[in-house]
Structure 1
């Protein structure tokens, strides 16, 4: 993991330090899966405020931290805005097909359950 000396620079695991079990843990939560699904659909850097999540601000912060520390997303500051980007290239290189498979399974589950969101929020 890189060490941030500037408080505006956040720690992220290097590509070679991303572990499958950490990625699977991050994607196992419905809220985090919803965040990742939205990021994959938008294919752009998105601010935290872009997401309409059914949790408190502090819980939202926790979910983004888990995604960042697992290597699923990268967070960077641009001015005062924290932007989030999916680390698709890193994940696809390390675990070919994993992200697409999880996102397709989440979408299929949403269709099966009649949930309009890409990942059903049950928690």
Structure 2
């Protein structure tokens, strides 16, 4: 796999697929997990044009650290997010431009459907 890599201060690299290598089935797989979808929803809400991204510790996931790491790796390797180091902090940003260029409307449709589902389920909870 040819990848674009984000260099870390220690010289480690994080593999990211180039835009041309992002596959629809990998993106859909990454978004099919409720935990990963929640992360992407939060990123989409919080990430502004000036935002460098959110740290992994920003997300309060009800899973172990190793499971959280796995979820972020799936999102990164599928091309849904980009991870870069700023000092010792790993920042996560949505690759919205790449996803919108490859699959116009997909991310917005999935996020909208996830919001409608959450609203529907919350309505039934009370």
TM-score (norm 1): 0.89
| Mapped pair 1:37 → 2:77 | no
Measured against aligned partners, the alpha-carbon deviations of 1:23-74 in whole angstroms (never above 9, x if no partner) come to 0000000000000000000013000000011111100000000000000000
Q: How many residues align?
A: 114
- Measured in 1, the distance between the counterparts of 2:58 and 2:4 equals 27
Show structure 2 runs of 5+ residues with no match.
Answer: none
| Mapped pair 1:62 → 2:66 | no
* CA deviation after TM superposition for structure 1 residue 3, in Å: 6.8
TM-score (norm 2): 0.86
Show structure 1 runs of 5+ residues with no match.
Answer: 116-123
Match of 1:22 among 23, 26, 37: 26
Conserved? CA contact 2:4–2:18, under 8 Å: no
* CA deviation after TM superposition for structure 1 residue 2, in Å: 1.8
Measured against aligned partners, the alpha-carbon deviations of 1:60-106 in whole angstroms (never above 9, x if no partner) come to 00000000000000000011000000000000000000000000000
**Greater relative contact order structure (CA < 8 Å, 6+ sep):** 1
| Structure number with higher strand proportion | 2
